[in-house]
Amino acid sequence: MHDLLLYIIPQLGKYPRDQKFLLADRIEVRLLDVQERCLRAYYSRDKAEHIREANMGVELARHLVRLSFDLKLINTHRYGVISEKLDEVGKMIGGWLRSTTERQ
């Protein structure tokens, strides 16, 4: 998650002004929320609910990034890198969710 944020935050700063405060802000807030949910899950007894929320946040961010690409706000290379990082985070969260629900 940290690597994704390190990569994407500077990219979001390159959005045109009219989208910087709409689409870019939504992506950044969503991903920071995912990070917060993961930290809450790590320190919580009820991990599954926080992990589910983090998973939904990743999915929403994925759709917002795809919209950015379709609107030509990010190029193909950046879209590929961001998508790979989002997929990696999604797999990690999905595995964490499966292991948490199997224990219960």
* pLDDT of 103 strictly over 80: no
- Average the pLDDT over each of 26-30, 45-49, 88-92 and give the range with the smallest value: 45-49
Given a contact cutoff of 8 angstroms between Cβ atoms, the answer to whether 17 and 47 are in contact is no
pLDDT, the chain, mean: 95
**What span, in angstroms and rounded, lies between the C-alpha atoms of 94 and 10?**
27
Domains in the chain with CATH codes: 2-103 (1.20.1440.60)
pTM of the model: 0.92
What's residue 104's pLDDT? Answer: 64
Cβ-in-10-Å burial (0-12, 13-18, 19+) of 27 comes to buried
What's residue 59's pLDDT? Answer: 97
What's residue 49's pLDDT? Answer: 94
Residue among 92, 2, 89, 94 at smallest CA distance from 48: 94
